[in-house]
Structure 1
Amino acid sequence: MTLSLKKNVIAEPSVAGWYAWSYLLPPHTLAKYLKNHYRTIAESFVANPETHRTALRQARFQGGPFVIEEHEGAYEKVAQWFETTREQYAPLLELADAIDELELKILPEQTGASMESVYQQLPEPLAGRVELFYNRDNRTPDYRFIEPLLYSSPYFDRSLQQIRFSEIAEDDRKFALTTPVLEYTPEQVLVTVPLDSELLDVVFRGGLTREELDRVTADLGIEGERAEVFKAFFEEDAAQEPPADDVMEYVGHACVYVRHKGVSFVVDPVISYSGYPSEADGRFTFDDLPDRVDYVMITHNHQDHMLLETLLKIRHRVGTVLIAKSANSSLVDPDLKRILRVLGFHDVVELDDLESVETPGGTITALPFLGEHGDIRIRTKCGWLLDLDGKRVLFAADSTNVSPQLYPQVTAAVGQVDTVFIGMESVGAPVSWLYGPLFPERLERKVDAGRRLKGSNFEQGAAIVDALRANSVYVYAMGQEPWLGAVMCVEYDEKHPAMIDSDKLVAYVREGGRTAKRLFLHETIELKP
């Protein structure tokens, strides 16, 4: 008899006490989010919890900077945690102050003269860890981080990394990004462990004897009653069905699973749990994955496309992770390849626009991806064109057709695409919702409202489909699956612009005699030539 985690046990990673996402791994981005976002949330909650409670009674404030109190006594636990961690987080706040000094004081004084002497003005946390330069106008100063030196500095502290195990009883998840990840109840077990630890692979792989489970529990530092709670998260293994070949499954949101000639692909892994009475019938869960996922393809570095909670759970299965060419080494676009390696993924491959990798029976090609990032300089994004013996599928993610000339040129370069998956969240959040803590100064409200994290509207989406001459079109990545609640707060009714736009696109494609559908929960999709 062997044991594995129950299907309804969730493992929520955290960094510095907050639900972990990719920008909380690099020290420089973590520092800025702590100073300009998370600390503000915690201070506000501790000072006036009723403000948070009142705000969260209104739907329009869901997903805002408010702490959610799911459990009795949560206020006391957050207040105590916030007070006891001040000293631990002080170095990161010093790093954030140093970045502000560079951006708001030192660089604005540079107008084109040599920067050689400016290096001597750098505050200590940045000295030797940044490069200064001018943009091509020879007047606008800028800089980049030398990221490996930040990761090897005291500002990268693995002791800030934790993971919380607990059981859930339904699909719906509370928004997790603004509430500290603590042990609120005796049924939760919070473990301080580096997120790249092989111990986590042992836990998630399962198949443990009772002696092995005892050993890994001890190695994780879990003792006493907490050890008994942790071991109760495991159950006896059941027989698994072998994976089917030549399948394409919509898993939810932007996640699609493909298996062809024994090779498996997962795009933007966000996978639901199961094992509780209220689960949606027939969905794709972790149990449906094969023992090995040959390729994980990440379209861009947002929480709903690169979900650490899912990635860590499947890490032991993953062969190669494919990402867009990265390494801007800026606050808004940190090196994603390095982030993934810090998370324990060893085989990470970057592809530039129109670059490909060969796979058995086909290729994977990175295609340009515009929009959805509020007009800030983000290089780490692409669509993935998967060729399966001539059947060509594009995962366009949230590509916004802001340049109508792009996709005709893409088609001229790569040829017709048979099937297109496209996101159509045509409103999106203001750019500051995600990136605001990284900006040196607050954006004007009007400017912020006009720069959105959005996908294509009907006209833009139809132009993409027509340019690619697609026979099948699937609208996805709409954030409607209930398990997306941890990282998204999107609720549409039939009058929402995103629903209207996507309905119009589906109707437009069908009127032309082609296949189209807006996807939800789960769908098995025929691989059409």
Structure 2
Amino acid sequence: MPLSLKRNVIAEPAVAGWYAWSYLLPPHTLAKYLKHHYRNIVESYLDEPEAHRTALKQPRFQGGPFVHEQEGSYEKVRDWYESSREEIGPLLELADAIDELEQKVLPGLTGASMESVYGTLPEPLAGRVELFYNRDNRTPDYRFIEPLLYASSYSDPGLQQVRFSTIHQDARQFALTTPVLEYTPDQVLVTVPLDSPLLDKVFAGGLEPRELDGIAAELGLDGERADTFRGFFEETPEPAAAQDAPDTIEYVGHACVFVRHQGTTFLVDPVISYSGYSHESDGRFTFDDLPERIDYVMITHNHQDHMLLETLLKIRHRVGRVVIAKSANSSLVDPDLKRILTGLRFHDVVELDDLESIDTPGGSITALPFLGEHGDIRIRTKCGWLLDLDGTRVLFAADSTNISPQLYARITATVGRVDTVFIGMESVGAPVSWLYGPLFPEKLERRIDAGRRLKGSNFEQGAAIVDTLRARSVYVYAMGQEPWLGAVMCVEYDETHPAMIDSDKLVAYVEERGGVAKRLFLHESIAVRP
């Protein structure tokens, strides 16, 4: 009988010992996070473990720079930190070179020719960056020639790993600040490039026992660790009888929505629940509910709760085309997302610029401008997705905020009204440094950092978007409330939180005007309303 992974087995990707998200794949951004973020976390923990334990007893510190302990964590983290210093040494040298460029070389340039400066660049950057002035002819800046960084020794697939384990409940510890190690005998950590076809075989399942043994051997597993790995598999369930699947829009959780229209399937911002264990919310949409083929995966922006590698790698063997916003800024804060995805062996990745479209069976996908939510830094890789389903138009606006009130009026004048809007209303958000701080050349003043936030729309902004688009159906999503989001988000609301108040007001506002509105949670089947 063929074998497949049990439904409650998770496979956590890691890079250089840390839970993998997209900014840990380009060498230049990985280097900066290692030097200015992760190394500080682990050194703080090793110096004062009790401070980390005390902090994590308070819910407000759950997403902070603290290590979540398991039994024996301290010794394992200490030994790993000592043994890994040499292998990340080249990346720390790259980070030093970037710091030297930003803090010493560029500040000395005020408008004169840059030609002679190339000869003074730190060696890791020589021949891998282009210098230029911004349009004021005084402010220097630079871009990375990313292919040359990926082709260098700073790009090391040997730093990539996957940790397999089982879960028995939705709640998971925040993963972004704790080294990914084998803490218990029932965890198996394998060193394997994240683009490896072996992973697709593991996730696709249907493996004969001898084939599974061969995969375990290729992953370097033997003895008890190989036995533990084999224990993650069970007999493959019989497939459901083939039938014509109906058209549907399914809210999957957070910002993830599944759409089927005339046999074509779409998946927006994939973050999906596991199953195979008891939980309070039966009826959710899980990996089991995905079709064998996902024709289009649509990613609104490059944050870990919208482009979750843990989910993307698990479904990679099912995916046809990935659609993303145009990127290729080749900067620290906005690395080339297409290059990241193709490096992960997604073979068909399409970038759309503002208001560009691609045709789909029975409709189209159009990229709409997306402002806000990125703390006023220059991020190009973001858009809302307008999905046309035979004339019924659905907008996935993600965390777009109406900071430029004229924008949606101009969009509506160009593309016409929209029937259904999905909009994020996490209206407080984290300060910009929470995500991007390690990439900045200097620390932001606290006052400025507190004012530049990673947030969605508030009530006034959301209502203006809805009114301008003349939408009849409005769904508030991307609130981070689903219990399986804990690995990458630490958001806890009660009814007095501004995000809840704002979203309640928007729902009431739409309903008072005769529309359909709801704040979504866990799972919802949504009628397609022309």
Alignment partners' CA distance in 2, 1:317 and 1:275: 21
Task: Provide the C-alpha distance between the structure 2 equivalents of 1:435 and 1:398, rounded to a whole number of angstroms.
Answer: 17
Work out whether 1:264 is the aligned partner of 2:265. Answer: yes
Q: Secondary structure at the match of 1:353?
A: coil
Supply the distance in 2 between the matched residues of 1:334 and 1:277 (Cα, whole angstroms): 40
Q: Which amino acid aligns with 1:317?
A: R
Map of 1:512 onto structure 2:
513
Query: Any conservation in 2 of the 1:170–1:279 contact (CA below 8 Å)?
Result: no
Q: Distance in 1 between matches of 2:380 and 2:59?
A: 34
Tell me the distance in 1 between the aligned counterparts of 2:135 and 2:280. Answer: 55
The corresponding residue for 1:187 is 186
Displacement of 1:395 in angstroms is: 0.2
Tell me the amino acid that sits aligned with residue 350 of structure 1.
E
Distance in 2 between residues matched to 1:391 and 1:121, nearest whole Å? 57
CA deviations 1:8-36 (Å, max 9, x no partner) are: 00000000000000000000000000000
Deviation at 1:344, TM superposition (A): 1.4
Find the aligned partners of 2:517 and 2:285 in 1 and give their Cα distance. Answer: 21
Equivalent residue number for residue 377 of structure 2: 376
Aligned to 1:233: 232
Q: Aligned equivalents of 2:358 and 2:289: distance in 1? A: 26
Q: Where do 1:5-16 residues align within 5 Å?
A: 5-16=5-16
Measure how far apart 1:279 and its partner are: 5.3
The Cα shift of 1:245 comes to 2.6
Q: How is 1:390-469 mapped onto 2 (pairs within 5 angstroms)?
A: 390-469=391-470
Q: Residue 159 of structure 1 corresponds to which residue in structure 2?
A: 158
Are the counterparts in 2 of residues 135 and 142 from structure 1 also a CA contact under 8 Å? yes
CA distance in 2, matches of 1:302, 1:444: 23
Show the counterpart of 2:40: 40
Tell me how far apart the structure 1 counterparts of residues 292 and 51 of structure 2 sit (CA, whole Å): 47
Asked whether 1:333 is paired with 2:334, we answer yes
| Shift, 1:280, TM fit | 2.0
Counterpart Cα distance in 2 of 1:399 and 1:240? 39
The amino acid of 2:133's aligned partner reads: Y
Q: Tell me how far 1:277 sits from its aligned partner.
A: 1.4
The 5 Å alignment of 1:118-517 reads 118-241=117-240, 242=242, 244-278=245-279, 280-517=281-518
- Paired residue for 1:82? 81
SS at match of 1:125: coil
Matches of 2:416 and 2:225 in 1, distance apart?
Answer: 57
In 1, the alpha carbon distance for the partners of 2:138 and 2:432 equals 26
SS at match of 1:77: helix
C-alpha distance in 2 between matches for 1:368 and 1:5? 40
- Structure 1 spans left out of the alignment, 5+ residues: none
RMSD across aligned positions (CA): 0.7
Q: Which runs of 5+ in 2 are unaligned?
A: none
User: What TM-score, normalized by structure 1, do the two folds share?
Assistant: 0.99
Distance 1:362 1:277 in 2: 39
Deviations 1:274-310, CA, capped at 9 Å, x for gaps: 0001252000001111111000000000000000000
Which residue does 1:17 correspond to in 2?
17
Q: Which residue identity does 1:521 align to in structure 2?
A: L
Q: Partner residue of 2:109?
A: 110
How far off its partner does 1:158 sit? Answer: 0.3
- Deviation, 1:68, is 0.1
Aligned to 2:364, the other structure's residue is in SS state: strand
Amino acid at match of 2:439: L
Q: How far off its partner does 1:47 sit?
A: 1.0
**Residues paired across the two proteins, number:** 528
How far, CA to CA, are the matches of 1:53 and 1:187 in structure 2? 24
Where 2:124 maps in the other structure, the secondary structure is helix
TM normalised by structure 2 equals: 0.99
Which stretch shows the higher mean deviation, 187-196 or 276-285? 276-285
State the Cα distance separating 1:470 from its structure 2 match.
Answer: 0.2
SS where residue 137 of structure 2 aligns?
Answer: coil
Counterpart amino acid of residue 36 in structure 1: H
Cα distance in 2 for partners of 1:304, 1:215 equals 34
Identity over aligned pairs, percent: 80
